[in-house]
Structure 1
Amino acid sequence: MKVIKSDGKVVEFDESKVRQSILRVGIDKHGVDDVLEKVKSRIKENMTTKEIFAIVYQELDRKDTCFACRYNLRDALLRLGPAGYKFEKYVASILRAYKYDAYNPEKELQGSCVGHEVDVVAERDGRRMFIEAKFRNDFKDYVNLKDTMATWSRFLDLVDGAAVGKCPHFDECWIVTNAAFSDRAKKFGMCKGIHMIGWNFPESAPFSQMVDNSALYPVTVIDHLRNNEIEALSRNDIMLCRELTEHDPDELTQKLGSDEVRAEQLIELCAKIVEGK
């Protein structure tokens, strides 16, 4: 059976890819088999991969909303847009969960030549990381060679600035994105020693795996989360479902400006998303 990818390319339907995408939400083997059979029964010739994604989401939602929310990760990242500042906060939250001391600087850091807006600064084991969070509103977009070279140039200017006491010293340069890197960007980054994390890169520990392995799902995986609630949570630095569960209903009600029933519902759902059950 032929299906149409997001770039318009027609390919053979790959059952193993769908199975793998279902497996990552934490459902057991019997559940995976059941969902996959129902999905296959609904797929038609020349369906788009986006339509297939929607079918998988619906079938997982019938099993348990928490599985559907976990599956919704990639679209949830888009809801951190259209500007990139929520993604920057989310990246900092993920790094804190991985035991980094991470924050989003409020002011420019002065390099040797000019000042630079820095998305995320992270520290661990005596090393400080300069991190650019490259948010993309379209998964077909790449972080390209020009982007990567510009990041490296900013890093070098900050290193030079630190040498003359203008800013803190940085030991490492990172780029984190919800999209992909072009081949030339990867080649340049690996040559310069840039730590690059994309949706499916590096193969050993991509961004998606960093999230799934430690259940660091953004609050936006909840598809009925309202825009004003997303903004309120962001203002209060609550970017992870895990962070939301750390609040009691009364406290969350105050921060959201909503009622306590809504706060209780969100806390309960986030707990299920984090636990995967």
Structure 2
Amino acid sequence: MEIKNIEIIKSSGEKVKFSLDKLRLSLKRTGADNTIVNQILDKVRDELYQGISTKEIYNRAFSLLKKNKSHLASKYKLKKAIYELGPTGFPFERFVSAILNYSGYKTEVGKILQGKCVSHETDIIAFKNLEATIIECKFHSEQGLNCNVKIPLYINSRYQDVRANWSKSSKKEVLLTQGWVVTNTRFTKDALQFGNCTGLYLLSWDYPENDALKDRIDRLGLYPITVSTLLTNREKQFLLSRDVVLCRELIEDNFYLDHLGVSETRKEKILNEILQLCNIQTP
């Protein structure tokens, strides 16, 4: 059977035509060279069958990348790694906050703000150039769940209530200029339409184009600790509980690996993987 006729099943249950170009692009994003990419494409192509799941294709490509270079496999599992920040969503808020901090913002997480009508617990307030942005994070720990129009509708009403009272608050010298919704999944068409119409800024895994969550992470080298292929799940959860959300934070806070009883040899491998992943030059 020709590749163009093979249907694959997405995590949502939707059936779509398999695209070799999409797989090639996702592998190229990791920084893998053409030789590695072509080898993986050939092997995956040979193992395709009608009704194969995207998860099965991902697992095969991931294991082949890991055999070549572990830091490439870490980049490839970025989307899955963000799901692994759950299930509460709070580590995702800290992760988004960390991305903003590295982008020149000062952030506060989990603050109560008084609106005109009621008070609101906000996920993140970000400050830059005497302007404030209120950011709400919508985290899904399961694949296939998208943010529908109800989410930006609800968040926009909260933002407008806080904005109506902002000039009376202690931060009145700072202008409240924007509300954001950030999700690790995708927005539906209606959600995007509403956000664009009301001026609410929407940031998802793949939106806006070229400046989406995945683009910002790759550009800044701000990978969550859950991407590591060398740390165990128990070790990742321990680090998250100690507020080590980004891989690059472990370079400075590597004493936590000693607390976990990680051997010197393994510790060196873990830190080397992170240095390569985040493109950090050692002195």
TM-score between both structures, scaled by the size of structure 2: 0.88
Query: Alignment RMSD, CA only?
Result: 2.2
Relative to structure 1, the CA distance from residue 276 to residue 24 in structure 2 (aligned partners, 3 Å threshold; closer, same or farther) is farther
SS at match of 1:116: strand
Q: How many residues align?
A: 273
Equivalent residues of 1:101, 1:123 under 8 A apart:
yes
SS at match of 2:122: coil
- What is the CA distance between 1:68 and its match in structure 2? 0.8
Quick one: which of 124, 144, 147 aligns to 1:143? Answer: 147
Relative to structure 1, the CA distance from residue 147 to residue 63 in structure 2 (aligned partners, 3 Å threshold; closer, same or farther) is same
CA distance in 1 between partners of 2:194 and 2:98 (Å): 28
- What is the CA distance between 1:231 and its match in structure 2? 3.5
1:190 aligns with 196
The aligned amino acid for 2:157 is S
SS at match of 1:47: coil
Q: How does 1:101-112 map to 2 (within 5 A)?
A: 101-105=106-110, 107-112=111-116
2:123 aligns with 119
SS at match of 1:211: helix
CA distance in 2 between partners of 1:60 and 1:230 (Å): 21
Pair 1:246 & 2:259 matched: no
The aligned amino acid for 1:258 is G
SS at match of 1:142: coil
CA distance in 1 between partners of 2:236 and 2:119 (Å): 30
1:91 aligns with 96
- Deviation readout 1:214-259 (Å, 9 max, x if unpaired): 2211000124534443343234332111221233x4x3346x5434
Equivalent residues of 1:252, 1:263 under 8 A apart:
no
CA distance in 1 between partners of 2:262 and 2:146 (Å): 41
1:171 aligns with 177
Pair 1:131 & 2:131 matched: no
TM-score between both structures, scaled by the size of structure 1: 0.90
Quick one: which of 221, 229, 238 aligns to 1:232? Answer: 238
Quick one: which of 84, 87, 92 aligns to 1:79? Answer: 84
Equivalent residues of 1:27, 1:67 under 8 A apart:
yes
- Deviation readout 1:69-116 (Å, 9 max, x if unpaired): 1100111011111111000000011111212212313x4222222221
Equivalent residues of 1:111, 1:166 under 8 A apart:
no
CA distance in 2 between partners of 1:76 and 1:276 (Å): 20
Structure 2: runs of 5 or more not aligned: none
CA distance in 2 between partners of 1:15 and 1:276 (Å): 32
- Deviation readout 1:9-32 (Å, 9 max, x if unpaired): 333321000000101101122222
CA distance in 1 between partners of 2:275 and 2:237 (Å): 21
Quick one: which of 54, 57, 64 aligns to 1:52? Answer: 57
Percent identical pairs in the alignment equals 32
CA distance in 2 between partners of 1:178 and 1:102 (Å): 19
Pair 1:201 & 2:220 matched: no
CA distance in 1 between partners of 2:280 and 2:92 (Å): 23
CA distance in 1 between partners of 2:235 and 2:161 (Å): 38
